[in-house]
Amino acid sequence: MNPYELSIAQARTELDNGTLSSRDLTRSCLDRIKSVDGRIQSFLLVTEEEALQQAESADKQIAAGNVAALCGIPLAMKDLLCTEGVTTSCGSKILENFVPPYDATVIEKLKNQGAVLLGKTSMDEFAMGSTSENCAFAVPDNPWKAGYVAGGSSGGSASAVAAMECLGSLGSDTGGSIRQPASLCGIVGIKPTYGRVSRYGLVAFASSLDQIGPMSRDVTDAAIMMNAISGYDPRDSTSVQQSVPDFTASLKKGMEGIRVGIPAEYFTAGLDSEVAGVVENGVQILKDAGAEIVDIRLPHTEYCVAVYYLIAPAEASSNLARYDGVAYGMRSEDASSLENMYRESRSAGFGDEVKRRILIGTYALSSGYYDAYYKKASQVRTLILQDFQKAYESCDVIISPVTPTPSWKKGAHSGDPLSLYLSDILTISANLAGIPGISVPGGFSKDGLPVGIQLQAAHFREDTLLQAAYNLELGTGLANKCPEL
């Protein structure tokens, strides 16, 4: 077995036993990137020199007795997490040469553990998209089938893990941007409860929805990474002072006493029959493990897409107003006036999808329309949250598909953005409600494309979520299954 094929847990054992060094493990991952990333295009930037230095430092720490779970482990970062001294572009021309002067809290936590950071991964520009095709620099490929999308917006982070270019990665999830690409690439991806993981240093898309989370080859590795990045941060006003359990302790075999809810609204017209079959098999796996299966209702599901695509663009319009060519980022060199500089810089710096969402959001927030659109959407968002609160009175975990279909060909929806918006219907509700969700590999389509299963739990019940995910993984037998490249 090549070192890059190891899971985080397996690598931890070998590093601690002295049978593998972090430098050799890191070198193996870097060589893997050189070998396959020409096709996959997971990375926008590989920090080879810095990674090898971090690996040598980790080896010294391990020799001195550092037993931190991620010490010496090579990981990849989505390119909207600020990294001191390393370009953070958000997949956008407007930030093409932006080098942050500080680390995001999650990056700081990983460095404090002694993790090795391999580089920054491709993504939809400012995390706006479902395929990563909106990236200004490189569009990641699905490792399972050439020419198919890796998902978005954390497509590069997902494809890097699936292609075994790293042992794990961090993504961000605003409307499914961790869970959806995890499903399409056949890996595990978890969106924690809003407030569980600090957003300080995450370049904002929609501040009331964004959440950082791990992407990994199995549930155990996801739990290990959750331990490392969770916790209160006074620098993030939305961070919650909630105790952080040892998530790896939740990985127990058996589901006795746990109720699994099936929402009727998630199994409707438009759901691919192969996807439905994979989820039905997942339900049976959890039932066989001892879970009680119950039917639940989430009656406001039909409004989720409309609510999301008012709230998220409105917040994006506000957050992206700062990119004006003055303080940092791209500035038009041909501007004849200050107003002209704003216009030219933003017109050239932003891609079409980002411009589209800024326009939608600005309109929704404008005088005379605020009450009709943003305010009403916020009120319906409360009803969606109440749906989940009521559902969790009768169940502990909700099971559903992640996406209505497996992956699709690149460019298939290039002229129809609305169809992509509608494909998010099964994931965005978790962001609107602020609850945790996870995608676990469930099976494959007849074309050999991965299909994930989504589990969701009540606020700050990642422990229950991970227990259910672990049992689902045991039943499918798909942990650490990666494509041949």
Distance CA 234, CA 334 (A): 42
Confidence grade of residue 393 (pLDDT, cut at 50, 70, 90)? very high
The per-residue pLDDT for 458 is 98
CA distances in angstroms from 51 to 165, 169, 193, listed in the order given: 13, 14, 30
Measured in whole angstroms, how far is the alpha carbon of residue 37 from the centre of its chain? 20
**Where residue 270 falls among pLDDT bands split at 50, 70, 90?**
confident
Quick one: pLDDT band at residue 113, thresholds 50, 70, 90? very high
Q: Return the pLDDT at 286.
A: 98
Task: Supply angle C-alpha 367, 373, 378, rounded to 5.
Answer: 115
Burial class (CB in 10 A: 0-12, 13-18, 19+), 424: buried
156 band by pLDDT with thresholds 50, 70 and 90: very high
| Count of other CB atoms within 10 angstroms of residue 86 | 19
The pLDDT assigned to 118 comes to 98
Between β-strands 437-444 and 188-191, what pairing exists: parallel, antiparallel or unpaired? antiparallel
Active site residues: 78, 153, 177
Please tell me whether residue 142 adopts helix, strand or coil conformation: coil
79-109 pLDDT, tens digit per residue, is: 999 999 999 999 999 999 999 999 999 999 9
Three-class DSSP category at 305? helix
Angle at which helices 8-17 and 219-229 cross, to 10°: 70
| Mean predicted confidence (pLDDT) in 223-243 | 97
- Residue 285 CA to residue 279 CA, distance in Å, equals 10
Taking Cα atoms as reference points, which of 146, 175, 149, 181 lies closest to residue 76?
A: 181
DSSP 453: E
Each domain of the chain, given as residue ranges in start order, spans 3-253+469-476
Structure tokens at 270: 């438009």
The residue that leads in pLDDT, 146 or 335, is: 146
Residue 25's Cβ-count burial label (10 Å; 0-12, 13-18, 19+) is buried
Can you give the pLDDT at residue 248? 98
User: Residue 259: how many CB atoms within 10 A of its CB?
Assistant: 16
Q: Mean of the pLDDT values across residues 258-262?
A: 98
Q: Residue 58: pLDDT above 90?
A: yes
For residue 211, name the pLDDT band (cuts at 50, 70, 90): very high
Q: How far apart are CA 23 and CA 71, in angstroms?
A: 12
Q: DSSP strand E in 87-145: where?
A: 116-121
Residue 415 has pLDDT above 90, yes or no: no
Q: How far, in Å, CA of 445 to CA of 451, rounded?
A: 7
Q: What percentage of the chain reaches a pLDDT higher than 70?
A: 100
Question: CA-based diameter of the chain, in Å?
Answer: 70
Report domain 3-253+469-476's class. Answer: alpha beta
Whether the link from the prior residue into 92 is cis, omega within 30° of 0, is no
Mean pLDDT for the chain overall: 96
Q: Please say whether the dihedral angle defined by the alpha carbons of residues 47, 53, 54 and 59, taken in this order, is positive or negative.
A: positive
What pLDDT digit, counting tens, does each position of 346-369 carry? 999 999 999 999 999 999 999 889
In whole angstroms, give the CA distance from residue 138 to residue 163.
16
Give the 3-state secondary structure of residue 342. Answer: helix
DSSP classification of residue 230 = B
Query: CB of 441 within 8 A of CB of 481?
Result: yes
Which residues, in sequence order, are bridge partners of residue 441?
Answer: 452
Which amino acid belongs to residue 135? C
Side-by-side strand order, sheet with 188-191: 43-46, 116-121, 74-78, 168-172, 212-216, 188-191, 437-444, 450-457, 397-401, 259-263, 292-296
- Closest by alpha carbon to 145, among 117, 173, 186? 186
Alpha carbon distance 55, 70 (integer Å): 11
